[in-house]
Amino acid sequence: MASNTQDAAHGAADAAHGSAPGMPQLDFSTFGNQIFWLAVALVVIYLILSRVALPRIAAVLAERQGTITNDLAAAEDLKAKAVEAENAYNKALADARAEAQRIAAETRAEIQAGLDEAIAKADEQISAKAAESEKAIAEIKAGALESVKAVATDTAEALVTALGGSADADAIAAAVAERTKG
């Protein structure tokens, strides 16, 4: 029954449209309707696309392209800066090293100068001291020779006396003088 009803509806639809059986595409009575609504649809789509959608998408794509280009340029820039910074760092390091060497050399020279001066001064003092000492030694030596003469005289006199002789002071002195000469 259901299919009969459907068939009846089908037949009725065909009759209403007066179409060739089986091909609604060739039912010219609906062409005006389709063409009118197609024109409306196309105009609406065209307005939507040309006024809103396409400019917006184009802008987004351009913006993205711009962002990518800018980012790449910025990266390139930063890379150049990094290289520059590294070069500056290396240069500063080399400078610092040279400066340090210069300071070290200067300091060394200064210290050497001070040292030389101190050594010279010390040498001078030492030679002065040595001269003084030599003088003192000479004095002491002279004193000692005197003492030796006196002691020798005394000793000789005592020896002579002890051996039972009479000690002639002049002879002894002459003898001591004779002996201590050489």
Positions touching other proteins (CB under 8 A) are 3-4, 6-7, 10, 13, 16-17, 21-27, 29-42, 44-46, 48-50, 52-54, 56-61, 63-64, 67
31 contacts 42 by C-beta, under 8 angstroms? no
Nearest approach, Cβ of residue 91 and other proteins (Å): 40
Closest of 157, 174, 177 to residue 166, by C-alpha: 157
Tokens representing 40 are 């409306």
CB closer to other proteins, 48 vs 126:
48
Count of C-beta atoms within a 10 Å radius of residue 160: 16
48 contacts 40 by C-beta, under 8 angstroms? no
Nearest approach, Cβ of residue 102 and other proteins (Å): 55
Nearest approach, Cβ of residue 27 and other proteins (Å): 7
Closest of 118, 98, 120, 121 to residue 110, by C-alpha: 118
Nearest approach, Cβ of residue 58 and other proteins (Å): 8
CB closer to other proteins, 15 vs 162:
15
